[in-house]
Amino acid sequence: MKALSGRFVLEKVVTVAGDVVCPQANIMRRLPQLVAYVEQRYKLSPTLMVKETLKYEQRVQVCDHRRDGIRHEFNIVRYQQDVARRHQ
């Protein structure tokens, strides 16, 4: 699924062989746009629907991104404070 969804570079990670049978000739170029793969980082309830699982993962990723942004801003402020102390 990772290979089909374009999650990693094939020639650098794994060799894939075989045929994809599909009525559309140009499907391989468009496949990463049509196939989705969501890694399950957390043990989720088997009762969740696919849509609910995707929404949950999206929220977790947004929270991770925001936390990383806050951490980056905190490090910038800390760096600026260190520079100010050195110039005193």
Say whether both 28 and 48 belong to one domain: no
81 plus 48 within the same structural domain: yes
- Segments in the chain below pLDDT 70: 1-16, 20, 22-25, 28, 36-45, 61-77, 79-80
- Whether residue 47 is found in the same domain as residue 71: yes
- Same domain for 44 and 77, yes or no, is yes
Both tokens assigned to 45: 């309830």
Domain span including residue 64: 38-88
Count of domains for the chain: 2
pLDDT value, residue 11: 58
Predicted structure pTM score: 0.31
Q: Are residues 31 and 47 in the same domain?
A: no
Instruction: Return d(Cα 76, Cα 13) in angstroms, integer.
Output: 35
19 and 47 assigned to the same domain: no
Are residue 47 and residue 80 in the same domain, yes or no? yes
State the Cα–Cα distance between residues 6 and 21, nearest whole angstrom.
Answer: 18
